[in-house]
């Protein structure tokens, strides 16, 4: 059984009128089905990033590592001797 990664589903026939599919989905991604199989996803512009992703600075990365050090240190210690 294939897992569908969208809460809304439309058939290929319904995609003849994509504006209706968009209205029904409320701006969320829609799984497109053909013969009971998912053949793709229809992703409206509202569901995508509206701005370019920003690259983290080295200081931000190091700060994030330090914040999670207590949680990850036992795993790092375990892997050191493997």
Mean pLDDT of the chain: 91
Residue 65's CB: how many other CB atoms inside 10 A? Answer: 10
Report the alpha-carbon distance of residue 52 to residue 77 in Å, rounded: 37
Q: Is the per-residue pLDDT at 30 higher than 80?
A: yes
Looking at residue 31, its pLDDT comes to 96
**HSE toward the beta carbon, residue 21, CA cutoff 13 A:** 21
Mind listing the pLDDT tens digit for each residue in 7-17? 999 999 999 99
Q: What integer pLDDT is reported at residue 57 of this predicted model?
A: 96
Contacts of 46 (CB under 8 A, 6+ apart): 27
Lateral strand order in the sheet of 37-42: 8-11, 30-34, 37-42
What is the three-class DSSP state of 39? Answer: strand
Residue 2 has pLDDT above 80, yes or no: no
pLDDT at 5 over 80: yes
């Amino acid at each position: 059984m294939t897992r569908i990664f969208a809460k809304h589903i439309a058939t290929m026939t319904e995609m003849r009128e994509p504006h209706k599919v968009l209205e029904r989905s409320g701006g969320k991604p829609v799984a497109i089905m053909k013969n009971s199989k998912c053949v793709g996803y229809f992703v409206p512009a509202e569901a995508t990033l509206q701005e370019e992703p920003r690259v983290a600075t080295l200081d931000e990365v190091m700060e994030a590592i330090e914040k999670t050090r207590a949680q990850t240190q036992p795993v790092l210690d375990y892997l050191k001797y493997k």
